Chain A
Amino acid sequence: MGAVLEGKGKEMSTPLNILFWIVVVPGTIVLGLVASWIARKVSALVQWRVGPPLLQPLYDVMKLMGKEILVPQEAQRTVFMMAPLVGLAGVLLLSIMLWRITVAQTAFVGDIIVAIYLMVLPSLALILGSSASASPHAAVGTSREMKLVMGYELPLVLAFIVVVIKTGGRLNLAAIAQHTTVLSISGMLAFLVALLCVQAKLGFVPFDIAESETEVASGIIIEYSGALLAGWKLMQTTMLVALPLFLVMVFLGGFGTTGWALAAGIGKYVLVLVLIILIKNTNPRVRIDQAMKFFWVYCGIALVVAIILAAIGSSCGINWL
């Protein structure tokens, strides 16, 4: 994976390597289903309900696989059918990259930029699929999703710039994961903004504007049914693994593979996941103009301050700034 290795990549033995490639995709999907169960269960507990059983996400996907697929008459068939696969492939590729960096430290220069591109892929697939479905509700959802993507991409990239400055200009996830950037003022600001951007990427409340069930009846995915809908659901559940994992690697000092480091890594992941779920459960949905203003004006200002602090900190050698 990548010719420009940065020295420290430790070689895995061949059987271990083969095992990794066999396990990684199904493992990620299973982890995603468990993560989505945690999301639903914690939401239920917050609302004093009992919540669904552990296997519920699996039943949902199995049932959708067995249902009829309806394609609208005026839809652009190829794009309509391909979009869920493209989105799912993008998220799986991102998570394979993250696992590979965690397990074998096979990182290459600039992989954080590749990760940022891969994270846009699900939103792009959603936009393509919904605009191919020839439904007015989906069109409203598409326009909202496009605005939302433009809204959160800018602060997200700015937040990663803070991290890159803090870690001394390294564009390499394995090197970035050695630092716990969040333990500084600028890192904390960047982490909070990135958390909200991830909230919007996952399509969770308060930024579920494109999928709002009450106004546009599930907007972007309104025309999808059967196995194609299962594709979207799997994409969303897999994003619940990949995006918090990415945040953990960039801001919270990454995962270890042995003993306490592994336990700490799992703890950090669950912490980020539960934070996201709690934000989801304690906020009402915002309008699209409010979301744009929030991301560009408030998050933008916070991140400009964070970048200035990080630049001062790294030039004067003050780590906590």
Chain B
Amino acid sequence: MSWQIEALKKSVWVFHVNTGACNNCDIEIVNLLTPKFDVERFGIKLVGSPRHADALLVTGAVTAQAAPRLREVYRQTPKPCVVFCIGACACGTGIFETGYHIVGPVDKIIKEIDPDAIIAYVPGCPPKPEAMISGIVKALSAI
């Protein structure tokens, strides 16, 4: 198992899931791929299908509509995989906590179907790209 984890740390392909975010965190995620931050240096690549992904970047406090989709995307991701909650809403539903349409936060939804899921949190509204890189580095050194 060890070489698999070692290789996973060097090459993290991420899939971006929006579960009802205001688009602010999404813009910051796209910011990571620009020449200024260039996360391809660390082997991090944005992919188009959850089947290719090693990490899910989840943004937004999960709405009632988005929850089944989030579960489905998590099931479609081959394991081992890491879930990153990006932003205050994904970490703990943020200012939408009492909203009638909110069933989140993200970790609750994921843990319903997989109690052993690896979940990392990057709070902020939105988190800075540096904070996301730091979060990814910390999460990967922990596993």
B binding-site residues for A, Cβ under 8 Å = 3-4, 7-8, 10-11, 35, 38, 40-41, 43, 47-49, 51-52, 54, 76, 78-80
Contact = CB atoms under 8 A, between A and B. Distances in A.
Contacts of B3: 62, 66
B41 A218 contact: no
A50 B41 CA distance: 6
A67 interface: yes
Interface string A12-47: 000000000000000000000000000010001001
Interface of A: 40, 44, 47-53, 55-56, 59-60, 62-63, 65-70, 213-214, 217-218, 221-226, 229
Contacts, number: 82
Contacts of B7: 59, 62-63, 65-66
A68 B54 CA distance: 11
Contacts of A55: 10
B35 A70 contact: no
B33 to A, nearest CB: 9
A229 B52 contact: yes
Contacts of A56: 10-11, 43
B19 to A, nearest CB: 18
Given A66-B4, A70-B78, A59 B43 contact: yes
10 contacts: A49-B38, A50-B38, A52-B41, A62-B3, A63-B10, A67-B80, A70-B51, A214-B48, A222-B51, A225-B78
Given A51-B41, A69-B78, A70-B78, A63 B51 contact: no
A213 B78 contact: no
B35 to A, nearest CB: 5
B79 A218 contact: no
Contacts of A224: 51-52
